[in-house]
Structure 1
Amino acid sequence: MVVDQIRAATQDLLAALTPDQLKQISAPFDTPDHQTWTYLPGAVPGLALTDLSAAQEALVVRLLELVYSKRGLADFRAVMAAEIIVRGLGDPMEVAETGGWAGSTVGDRYYLRVLGDPAGTEPWAWRLNGHHLALHVTLVDGAISFTPQFFGSNPAEVLSGPHAGRRFLVAEQDLGFQLLHALEPAQLEVALVSPEAPDDILTRHDPVADASLLHRGLAYGDMNEDQRQLLSLLIGQYVGRAAGPIGLQTWQDITEQGVERLTFAWAGETQPGLGHRHYYSIAGPTFLAEYDNTQDNANHIHSVWRDLRNDWATDLLAAHYAMHR
């Protein structure tokens, strides 16, 4: 069972750390900053990836492989590759895409933390936070919460140098434009909620995502089959980063809550290109995704997946505490 594998992998990692590293990585599950997170650069609580040995790093990669799909792990490494390129730190192939955080500069912007005791029976969590990357995994009574989850990239496309032309988080943008361009004029009037894109995702890094901030846009139920397929593919770019069982549970939740209630909203420019600021959101009763490419002359991506019911395992924890009260 994947939960047992995640538990064992986390225990193996903790057992391989020095006392000082254990102090940095560990926190109580009910720590006051449990739901504090950011995708901005700067130090956050936890153990920096750059402080891992090669053997310890391999244990972290094992943990990531249990939670991410292969594509999700590739996206994870791509975020770091973009960071290496924009900061001029060397060849991303030698660091982010093959592991290689140990002793590297890129690792100083990413921090791993374990909250609670993975060897016990109470809820616990682990998280990896850093610039343009935030993964939060909470485990409660054999179930998993995978959100909030944030991926970003600066640049969205490398404009010069040996990596010129390389793009990051490509499908999140391209599928969004494909869906927008597949809409009929009357549908476009509903989906296009503003000629101006916001400067950032609207829910930012708030502990609780406020869906009321969003325009609702065009409903899935008002789309034709081809358009629905494109929207499903776009949602899959977010959900598909998770390992199979986690992603399947999300699709089940979306279906049970009414897939026809999902909405697609667009703001900003309607054609891709440098300087063309654009944004979209996908929202339903429980599922929320936001994407923007507005900063740095529209060459800087932010994207987030939230669960309006179960971020931070809110529903799972409520059931747990009710059962054990």
Structure 2
Amino acid sequence: MKTPLLALLLSLPVMAQDLPSIAAMKSAADAFIGSLDDAKRGQAVFPFEAEDREKFKFTPPPPARTGLPFKEMTEAQRAAATKLLDAVLSEKGKLKATQIMTLEGVLREIEKKPDYRDPEKYYVSIFGKPGDEKGWGWKFEGHHLALNYTVVGGKEFSVTPSFFGANPGEVMEGEHKGLRVLKAEDELAHALVNVLLEGGKKNVIFSDKAPAEILTAENRKATVLDPVGVTVADMSEAQKKALLELISEYLGRHRTDLAEADMKKIETAGIEKVRFGWAGGTKPGEAWYYRIQGPTFLMESANVQNNANHVHESWRSFDGDFGRDILSEHYREHEKEGAAH
């Protein structure tokens, strides 16, 4: 059975795609802030310089999280908060996010912990003044869902760090039996490793044992990991196509203008330098881990916990998480302008 919140998320129309995402974010953030009274605004709105802006957390539970939870919002405020998700997520991405929240209800039934597992404990935080040229941002965060956005100069943006997770990876019983939130990513990754193995690229597997967790975990700054696996430069066209389909599945969680801009960043940094490496088993039911690493970004996924039925997936930017790169560039440009005058 859907909770009132999940029913609301599914029923609201996605924001018109012809409105650019940056403008849509500002509009949605202004409306959300405007829907709050002073007390709730104090829970949801923070200075852009707040330390918590760069806190990255996808594990339970609170109180480590900042923001105003859906649980404490009125229906109108929930609708306004949902428009923030509409401003950045594609229909596919919004469905995944909604289903991840649904899984909290599934875990509640499995574990019998109604206070610990709550599909309404997802938090919205706004940092800075929406539209501020110097930078502003926001996050949507809860168990297995951590979305962070930064906008600088009214045109530059960052959508990382980004995390989607699923526990159970596949629901085995009950009302939602058969639900696999991250099914597409799983199947595309397995198709890729198998096409590489069939093509003789045995070095795609860098370890027979998968690490228990994604290696970057909840680190505020992602660091470059060991270069493992196969580079795009060493892939056939079919193998490269399979890799790009997997990357596109991650990027495609966001609206078209955001996804296309992020793909352009990856291509500009050198698509031929991107590597794909796998650890663990490749057969159904076996624990696995993989990572896609390029000069500027890292995508990691692990399915080890709970008898390999608990998926964690993150997308990080080495210099661009929380908009660090575009903020630095923006400040440098303003320093040059100041010196010129």
Q: Fold-level match, TM-score > 0.5? A: yes
Structure 1 position 302, deviation (Å): 0.1
**Cα offset, 1:186, TM superposition:** 7.0
Residue in structure 1 matching 2:296, options 276, 282, 286: 286
1:303 maps onto 2:313 in alignment: yes
Aligned partner of 1:71 among 68, 86, 92: 92
Q: Does 1:161 align with 2:171?
A: no
> Do structure 1's residue 315 and structure 2's residue 325 form an aligned pair?
yes
Within 5 A, what are the aligned runs for 1:196-275? 196-212=209-225, 214-273=226-285
Counterpart selection for 1:49 from 37, 60, 70: 70
Distance (whole Å) between structure 2 residues aligned to residue 279 and residue 307 of structure 1: 19
Identify the residue that residue 114 of structure 2 maps to in structure 1: none
Paired position in structure 2 for 1:100: none
In 2, distance between residues paired with 1:42 and 1:159?
A: 24
Per-residue CA deviations over 1:76-119 (Å, capped at 9, x if unaligned) read 11111111112129xxxxxxxxxxxxxx94112x1110111115
**1:15 aligns to 2:34 (yes or no):** yes
Match of 2:135 in 1: 123
Task: Specify the alignment match of 2:106 in structure 1.
Answer: 85
Q: Secondary structure at the match of 1:106?
A: coil
Q: Deviation of residue 189 (structure 1)?
A: 2.2
Alignment match, 1:95: none
CA contact (8 A) 1:83 1:153 kept: no
| One-letter code aligned to 2:93 | G
Please state how far the C-alpha of 1:125 moved relative to its aligned partner.
0.5
Which residue identity is paired with 1:175?
L
Kept in 2: contact 1:177–1:272 (CA 8 A) = no
- Asked if the contact 2:21/2:255 (under 8 Å) is kept, the reply is no
Mapped contact 1:262–1:285 kept (Cα < 8 A): yes
1:147 aligns with 2:160: yes
Identity of aligned residues (%): 35
Q: Deviations over 1:264-321 (max 9, x none)?
A: 0000111122xx1100000000121000100000000000111223111111101111
Paired residue total: 307
- 8 Å CA contact retained: 1:128, 1:135: yes
The whole-number CA distance in structure 2 between the counterparts of 1:284 and 1:165 is 34
- Aligned partners of 2:197 and 2:204 also within 8 Å: no
Is the Cα contact below 8 Å between 1:25 and 1:46 reproduced in 2?
yes
- Offset of 1:263 from its aligned partner? 0.5
Q: 1:32 aligns with which of 51, 69, 79?
A: 51
Q: Contact 1:193–1:215 at 8 Å: present in 2 too?
A: no
The answer as to 2:196 corresponding to 1:183 is yes
| Alignment-mate amino acid for residue 284 of structure 2 | P
User: For residue 149 of structure 2, what is the aligned residue in structure 1?
Assistant: 137
For 2:53, what is the secondary structure of its paired residue? coil
- Residue of structure 1 aligned with 2:83, choices 53, 56, 62: 62
Contact 2:214 2:301 in 1 (8 A): yes
Conservation of the 8 A alpha-carbon contact between 2:66 and 2:125 = yes
The secondary structure found in structure 1 opposite 2:52 is coil
Q: Which amino acid aligns with 1:111?
A: Y
3-state DSSP of counterpart to 1:77? helix
Q: Which amino acid aligns with 1:132?
A: H
RMSD: 1.6
TM-superposed deviation, 1:170: 0.2
Contact 2:161–2:316 (8 Å) recurs in 1: yes
Distance 1:245 1:47 in 2: 28
Report the secondary structure of 1:282's partner residue. Answer: strand
Unmatched runs of 5 consecutive residues or more in structure 2: 1-19, 111-116, 336-341
Q: CA deviation at 1:165?
A: 2.2
Contact 2:52–2:66 (Cα < 8 Å) also in 1: no
Residue 96 of structure 1 corresponds to none
TM-score by length of 1: 0.91
Structure 2 distance, partners of 1:261, 1:38, is: 29
SS of the counterpart of 1:33?
helix
Q: Separation in 1 of the partners of 2:254 and 2:82?
A: 15
Deviation, 1:37, is 1.5
TM-score, scaled to structure 2:
0.86
Aligned residue type for 1:160: E
